[in-house]
Amino acid sequence: MTNQIALTFALLLLLLVGADMLFNHGAALLFLARKFLDLLNWIQFWR
C-alpha cells in the first residue's frame, strides 16, 4: 500500500466518522464497537 492510498483511506475514514457524529450522534460507531466486543467474546470462547 502506497502512502497516497493510506492517506486517502485515513481521510475517508475520518470523514465517515465525522459524518456519523454529525448526523447520527455516534450511534453507528457505538453499534460497531458493541458488535466487535461480541466478536471478541465469541473468539475467546472458541480459543
Q: Would you state the pLDDT for residue 2?
A: 95
* Percent of the chain at pLDDT exceeding 70: 100
Q: Could you give the dihedral angle defined by the CA atoms of residues 32, 35, 30 and 23, in that order, rounded to the nearest 10 degrees?
A: 40
Q: Find where cell 483511506 sits.
A: 9
Alpha carbons within 13 angstroms on the beta-carbon side of residue 17 total 10
- pLDDT value of residue 19: 97
From residue 20, alpha-carbon distances to 3, 13, 34 in Å are 26, 11, 16
Nine-digit cell at 25? 450522534
The mean pLDDT of 11-38, rounded to a whole number, is: 97
Kindly report the average pLDDT of the chain as a whole number: 95
